[in-house]
Amino acid sequence: MSLTITPLSSALGAQISGVDISQPLSVEQRDAIEQALLNHQVLFFRDQPLTPQQQARFAAHFGDLHIHPIYPNVPEQPEVLILDTAETDVRDNAIWHTDVTFLPTPALGAVLSAKQLPAFGGDTLWASGIAAYEALSEPLKRLLQGLTATHEFIKSFPLERFGNTPEDLARWEETRRKNPPLSHPVIRTHPVSGRQSLFVNDGFTTRINELSESESEAILKLLFAHATRPEFTIRWRWQENDVAFWDNRVTQHYAVDDYRPQRRVMHRATILGDVPFFR
């Protein structure tokens, strides 16, 4: 194989070259990319123009795909959702979040493809939950181990922004009915690497269940700030046809909303994961 992996920071991130991900992957290519994802948590591919069908095929090498209940999707490829600032209010992406943690089995990962970019702005940042966890003091690690937190769909998808037409309201109410609040461990064990990671995020986490309301608020505020310290993050400046592939089990990300009124169009394929656990 000619696949080349170039690390971009100590905490997370690597650029991958020498592979055309618009084509079906060989077993060797697939395994090498998966190992790179485990090692680096978010991977970047330059100059990879993908059709929705090719994007879905690449993502499906790593698991079954999710169809998002709220965002619009590509009609002929519903597993690929469309993040288009000209059509949809995507400000909930401009907050540190881990995708769809309101699901019992949150996403394993996601593949994001840049289709139309502003002349300036529109970067995305990722943060490593592994680096953040490992930097905690031992007493705080012991406090957090075994705790659980509530994650809620409506925190990032409030009714006032996503229920403004009869069709949108019906979709929102159906999604809320199918996705009641649920709990995940505050510290998650990666199911493949066995490494431990913070698994709370400002996008969907509402409280730590075993603590009082005031204690939960204070601890979550501390963890949200700690998890996104610059030394645990990487910032990607997009070029057209760039592709990012991240491990959603151990990262958060933030799409910087600094380019209005310019337009930004991204396509995302989301790979379903498993039930989070702590061991």
Backbone φ and ψ of 72, nearest 5°? -65, 155
Instruction: Enter the tokens of residue 277.
Output: 């656990």
List the catalytic residues: 97, 99, 253, 268
Residue 122 gets the label, from left (phi > 0), alpha (psi -120 to 50) or beta, of: left
